[in-house]
Amino acid sequence: MAAEFDIVIAGAGAAGLSLAYHLTRNSRRNWRIALVDRAPKQRNDRTWCFWEVGQGLFEAVVFRQWDRVAFYSPTLQRQLCIAPYRYKMIRGADFYAYVEAHLAAQPNVTRCYGEIVAVEEEGDAGVVHLRSGEVIRGKWVFNSVLFAPPCRAEDARYHCLLQHFLGWVVEADQPVFDPTVATLMDFRIPQAGETRFVYVLPFDAHTALVEFTVFSGSLLPREVYAQGLTDYLGEQLGLQSYRVREEEYGVIPMTDAPLKQRLSQRVIQIGTAGGDTKASTGYTFQRIQRRTHAIACALEAGRSPHLSRSLWQRRHGLFDSVLLNVLDKRRQPGWRVFTDLFANNPPVRVLRFLDEDTSLLEDLRVMASVHLPTFLSATLDVLARKGAGALNFGENTSPADRGRVT
Ligand SMILES: Cc1cc2nc3c(=O)[nH]c(=O)nc-3n(C[C@H](O)[C@H](O)[C@H](O)COP(=O)(O)OP(=O)(O)OC[C@H]3O[C@@H](n4cnc5c(N)ncnc54)[C@H](O)[C@@H]3O)c2cc1C
């Protein structure tokens, strides 16, 4: 006998918890909600950074925030004021605890634990199957479990890069960090034919999260990241004596392969599995907030939670593909592309562009700030690879069944 709910959320990570939070804040609907995951979250498994204007919904758990960021490359060393934005950091453990405390006080939310093996539609319901044989049915199922890699490198239509990184929370004896500035990208490290940079998020003068980050097609042996961090701390920051307090390893897909949001009429994909990761940067957290909020508003208003974007809004999918093409085909070194962007635009325009919040005039200005012949060749290559599918950027129409473990 299947458990029955109005809404089943498969995967209680950033997207699943955010959706549950949006659905239970100020709702008049009192939906019966099931939230399914392998196990309760017990670790600080990731750190989310993003930019926003003013106070956000999760302000209570913002761990640090900065109104200045730094960008360093072999030809540009600049500190940038990003007002009215602030660059914010939320620790995974704080976010989980905050949302879990809110949900624990909602009698209409049921927690279920177990390994999800399939999510599919049956009749007029969505169904989540657990390895234990348990079946959970909902009028709507929102799935954030990524059952298969989002793309295969051999598919020539798409770019399949990965953003992979190792971060250390470093505690130094000397006061080497400036707690008022977050370093977004420091490209002054050997590139090894890839796009490599270091990201520094200072907590105070002695402590920072320092991440060695690579955009490339394949992962590196773990010791390469560790060596990159050791070299940066020693050579760039002159640090000989420090302790590593925490470690964070992550892989984020950077792909324009379509991750469909609509798995079927009753099953909707959210989070990274639903294409909420920005293909050209890996930033996801704010995009998850925007979409899960919009889904909750649609359901509250009695509308369909299948959201679609206009062709105009989807143009950013094309921009992402072009940037991925430049990086993937090594048409220009990544550090050069990002240097052009930050050297030739006010930082706020770059952040708005990455947020997909720019006007046509701003888009044109951003395009004029990079090396045009390179980006033109990349655009032609993208259009040639995708053909008619070029107009479907961001609309997530993959025929592949990603709703089942194979
Ligand atoms: C280390 C790290 C750092 C990141 N930093 C940033 C950042 O600074 N800024 C940013 O915008 N983005 C960042 N991202 C990218 C993105 O924001 C996160 O990956 C985010 O957690 C994605 O949310 P999600 O809900 O799609 O996936 P997740 O948060 O991974 O949630 C998926 C959930 O599904 C559960 N699950 C998976 N498989 C099964 C199964 N078979 N059965 C049951 N449960 C299952 C998992 O336990 C998990 O709780 C980072 C990612 C990583 C990995």
How high does pLDDT run on average in the chain? 92
Strand partners, 36: 10, 112
Confidence of residue 310 (pLDDT cuts 50, 70, 90): confident
User: What is the pLDDT, as a whole number, of residue 362?
Assistant: 96
Mean pLDDT (whole number) for 305-326: 91
Strand partners, 69: 80, 182
User: What is the pLDDT, as a whole number, of residue 202?
Assistant: 98
- Any ligand 1 atom below 6 A from CB of 50: yes
Are residues 227 and 276 both part of a single domain? no
Confidence of residue 392 (pLDDT cuts 50, 70, 90): low
CA angle 239, 232, 279 (to 5 degrees): 140
State the Cα torsion 247-251-252-258 to the nearest 10°: -160
- Any ligand 1 atom below 6 A from CB of 365: no
Are residues 11 and 105 both part of a single domain? yes
In-domain check, residue 104: yes
Are residues 186 and 240 both part of a single domain? yes
Are residues 214 and 141 both part of a single domain? no
Confidence of residue 312 (pLDDT cuts 50, 70, 90): confident
With 0-12 CB in 10 A as exposed, 13-18 as middle and 19+ as buried, what is 268?
Answer: buried
- Any ligand 1 atom below 6 A from CB of 119: no
pLDDT tens string 273-287: 999 999 999 999 999
Determine the structural domain holding residue 378 and report its residue range: 315-392
CA angle 168, 286, 250 (to 5 degrees): 30
pLDDT tens string 347-384: 999 999 999 999 999 999 999 999 999 999 999 999 99
- Residue 376 C-alpha to ligand 1 middle, in angstroms? 34
pLDDT above 80 for 292: yes
- Residue 378 C-alpha to ligand 1 middle, in angstroms? 30
pLDDT above 70 for 147: yes
User: What is the pLDDT, as a whole number, of residue 311?
Assistant: 85
Are residues 288 and 341 both part of a single domain? no
Confidence of residue 402 (pLDDT cuts 50, 70, 90): very low
Are residues 270 and 130 both part of a single domain? yes
Confidence of residue 388 (pLDDT cuts 50, 70, 90): low
Lowest mean pLDDT among 47-56, 171-180, 309-318: 309-318
- Any ligand 1 atom below 6 A from CB of 213: no
Are residues 145 and 282 both part of a single domain? yes
- Residue 77 C-alpha to ligand 1 middle, in angstroms? 32
pLDDT tens string 72-106: 999 999 999 999 999 999 999 999 999 999 999 99
Pull the structure tokens for residue 244. Answer: 């590593």
Higher-pLDDT residue of 140 and 406 is: 140
Of 241, 275, 300, at which residue does a domain stop? 300
Mean pLDDT (whole number) for 240-259: 93
Confidence of residue 295 (pLDDT cuts 50, 70, 90): very high
User: What is the pLDDT, as a whole number, of residue 405?
Assistant: 37
In-domain check, residue 79: no
- Residue 255 C-alpha to ligand 1 middle, in angstroms? 16
Mean pLDDT (whole number) for 158-183: 96
User: What is the pLDDT, as a whole number, of residue 397?
Assistant: 38
Are residues 123 and 265 both part of a single domain? yes
User: What is the pLDDT, as a whole number, of residue 391?
Assistant: 54
Are residues 243 and 193 both part of a single domain? yes
Confidence of residue 1 (pLDDT cuts 50, 70, 90): low
Are residues 249 and 356 both part of a single domain? no
Strand partners, 265: none
CA 120/CA 82 separation, integer angstroms: 44
CA 22 to chain centre: 19
Buried b (16+ CB within 10 A) or exposed e, 78-95: eebebeebbbbbbbbbbb
- Residue 14 C-alpha to ligand 1 middle, in angstroms? 6
Peptide bond before 84: cis, by omega within 30 degrees of 0? yes
pLDDT above 80 for 387: no
Are residues 96 and 241 both part of a single domain? no
Q: In total, how many domains does the chain have?
A: 3
Of 254, 270, 289, at which residue does a domain stop? 254
Q: Where are the alpha helices (DSSP H) in 329-402?
A: 334-344, 347-354, 360-368, 372-386
CA 293/CA 16 separation, integer angstroms: 12
- Any ligand 1 atom below 6 A from CB of 339: no
Confidence of residue 404 (pLDDT cuts 50, 70, 90): very low
In-domain check, residue 208: yes
